[in-house]
Structure 1
């Protein structure tokens, strides 16, 4: 009976959670990265990667559900708090990560830009990028599988 309950819990978690893949261009990928390191890269607190190159974090547009889920997972803060953070950083001369308008645009930037790092859903994964971290989120992001979004 306990086994059936365990299976039920696992099944229900898979129904209500999704994965976000943190990816880099195939030619530029590192082996792995932690959530803490990723948050520091996206906050521009870590500037140089292990190979000595400058990190190039890439974001989707601010209202994209995938970006919102990604930011809440790595920063553990609501979007308005991060907006205030970037307002402060901007006046100190620190620019936020570069933003693109679609997953396809992100994949193209990641493929051609050294040390670029971004995020996609598993349905967007192709040969141009390598997964360096998987994030489990509680959001249902299945509606975001169109790469042109």
Structure 2
């Protein structure tokens, strides 16, 4: 009986961890961008300005969101920083001359509009905001 209870508790714990790891964001790009997957490390590097070109050599245009639920989830999930740490990272890069922060947008709708109008763009939105105007990138 104890083995059954322990097994059930273990399965519930695994399910809770899996649910907690479900992304509350979708990384998006232009519909015509040939890229359909991006590694977690490459995504992090793109948003930290450490990777600046697509595989074909064209410059990546990075967009981020202001203080939104998508921003909170994305910066913690992909960049592995709090939103404040991410802001501080870019502020230091700007003042030291080592980088220019990505353009910050107020919400999902504005993000989709900017990404849909720029074939080299990348950004993120909440999953429920995803539609045919942009393409989601699978993070592997």
> TM range, normalised to the smaller chain?
0.7 to 0.9
Structure 2 runs not aligned, ≥5 long: none
Separation in 2, partners of 1:105, 1:80? 22
Q: Does 1:68 align with 2:72?
A: yes
| Alignment of 1:83 onto 2:87 | yes
Larger Rg, first or second structure (1 or 2)? 2
Contact 1:58 1:98 survives alignment (8 Å): yes
Give the distance between the partners of 1:40 and 1:17, measured in 2 at CA.
Answer: 20
* Matched ranges for 1:115-126 at <5 A: 115-126=120-131
Aligned positions, number? 133
Q: Contact conserved, 1:29 with 1:130, CA < 8 A, in 2?
A: no
Find out whether 1:54 has 2:59 as its counterpart.
yes
Q: Which runs of 5+ in 1 are unaligned?
A: 136-149
TM-score by length of 2: 0.80
Q: Which runs of 4+ in 1 moved over 3 A?
A: 1-5, 8-18
RMSD: 2.4
Greater share of residues in helix: 2
Query: CA 1:85–1:11 in 2, change beyond 3 Å: closer, same or farther?
Result: closer
